[in-house]
Amino acid sequence: MASSTQEPSSSSTSIHRYNFEVFLSFRGEDTRTIFTDHLFVNLGGRGINTFRDDQLERGEEIKSELLKTIEESRISVVVFSRNYAHSKWCLDELAKIMECREEMEQIVLPVFYHVDPSDVRKQTGSFGEAFSIHERNVDEKKVQRWRVFLTEASNLSGFHVNDG
């Protein structure tokens, strides 16, 4: 794994080490073989050290390792797809990504894959359906936190993929 160093803003005196240039957050069942694999291969072909979840070491505790990897990434690409918000796992990743954006100035690039950014922002459409379920099964504070982070992420400049 390649490491790079970034000088933090003047308000901090520590140096942050990155093990990955890019962390990919996506719902595998929606995009793994039709979009995310191609993105991963193309980034790697350009020499960009990219992490996706199939790179975890066997035997590692998955959730803590993923959250650590997000912290060790310079950029997070979040691929919002139809079923992204149905996954508590994806929403927890997004929460960590947005925390790293705030605390470590991580760059976050949203990709809206066959979803309308306003559905992500307002939690309507399939995102609204997912939250109807989460509101019955998940702690209210956690659901509210996910909603805030989805809105923040959808307000970032990103990419909208409708075809291909």
Domain segments of the chain: what residues?
4-161
The tens place of each residue's pLDDT in the chain, 164 residues long, gives 444 444 444 444 356 678 999 999 999 999 999 999 999 999 999 999 999 877 655 455 567 888 999 999 999 999 999 999 999 999 999 999 999 999 999 999 999 999 999 999 999 999 999 999 999 999 999 999 999 999 999 999 999 998 75
Q: Which residues are part of the catalytic machinery?
A: 93
DSSP 5: E
Q: CA 128: distance to chain centroid? A: 19
Structure tokens at 149: 């982070």
**pTM for the whole structure:** 0.85
Looking at CATH, the fold of the domain delimited by 4-161 is given as: Rossmann fold (3.40.50)
Q: How far apart are CA 32 and CA 19, in angstroms?
A: 22
Predicted pLDDT at 12:
42
The answer to whether residues 96 and 146 touch, using CB atoms and an 8 Å cutoff, is no
CA triple 149-35-23, angle to 5 deg: 45
Residues in the chain: 164
Predicted pLDDT at 17:
75
Predicted pLDDT at 62:
62
DSSP H helices in 62-139:
62-71, 88-104, 117-122, 125-137
Predicted pLDDT at 63:
76
